[in-house]
Amino acid sequence: MSVPQRVAGREGPGGKAETILAAAERAFLARGFGAVSMDAIAREASVSKATVYAHFTSKEELFGAVIAHVSERRFGGFSAEALDPVDIAASLTTIATRFLDLVLAPEVIALNRIIIGEVTRFPVLAQVFWTAGPERMREQLEAFFRRAGAAGTLVIPDPRQAAEQFAALARGEIHLRGLFRVEEPTDSTVLSVAAANAVATFLRAFQA
């Protein structure tokens, strides 16, 4: 399967294609690829199955469109550019909190699950997600650590490695727990504590 591609002509929001995409998004994120039928999507979008096929040539293509759409929407806004590398503890706490808030969001966890589960069948979709998500976030972190190294607030011999380790500490065990559904959706106190722990350990290892 290649990169998702609409079949019908241009169409504004509120059109059938949007409705179908939104219905497919809900269904796939909630139940996965295999457990969702085109019938179910058509039903949820209140259109006929033939109409679904008029807009998307196959179930695989519709799936690809959903993945690309959600990835872009969720990760597009993540940035560390506005943060001050001098006030390092506060900035790291902010960024860790934003990071966790994003990667632990139920929708993002669901997206992770579905892509990981189908990576054998749809390797390109995993690439799309990876580039839009983890890679983009790592680049943002990396740029921040480069600035912090230059400002002398942190000792950063390898910005990329620092970014990876910071992200790893932030994810900690809690991210895996989310993927394996070992606990309820994470509340904000747990999230704050996790962020603070990650920052504390990271600072002990990298502070000037």
Please count the other Cβ atoms lying within 10 Å of the Cβ belonging to residue 71: 21
Distance CA 187, CA 176 (A): 16
- If one asks whether residue 117 binds DNA (CB under 7 A), the answer comes out as no
Buried b (16+ CB within 10 A) or exposed e, 139-160: ebbbebbbbbbeeebbebeebe
Give the nearest distance from C-beta 92 to DNA in angstroms.
45
CA distances from 137 to 46, 47, 131, 143, 169 (A): 37, 38, 9, 10, 14
182 makes contact, choosing from a copy of itself, DNA, none, with CB < 5 to 8 Å by partner type, with a copy of itself
- If one asks whether residue 37 binds DNA (CB under 7 A), the answer comes out as yes
Angle at 84 between CA 78 and CA 86, to 5 degrees: 145
- If one asks whether residue 139 binds a copy of itself (CB under 8 A), the answer comes out as no
Q: Does residue 67 contact residue 166 with C-beta atoms inside 8 Å? A: no
CA distances from 196 to 5, 71, 84 (A): 42, 27, 18
- If one asks whether residue 146 binds DNA (CB under 7 A), the answer comes out as no
Write each residue from 14 to 53 as x if it is in contact with a copy of itself (CB under 8 A), else as -, in one continuous string: ----------------xxxxxx------------------
49 makes contact, choosing from DNA, a copy of itself, none, with CB < 5 to 8 Å by partner type, with DNA
Interface with a copy of itself (CB under 8 A): 30-35, 112-121, 123, 126-127, 129-130, 134, 138, 161, 164-165, 167-169, 171-173, 176, 179-182, 197-198, 201-202, 204-206
Binding region for DNA (CB under 7 A): 8-9, 11, 15-16, 36-39, 46-51, 53-55, 57-60
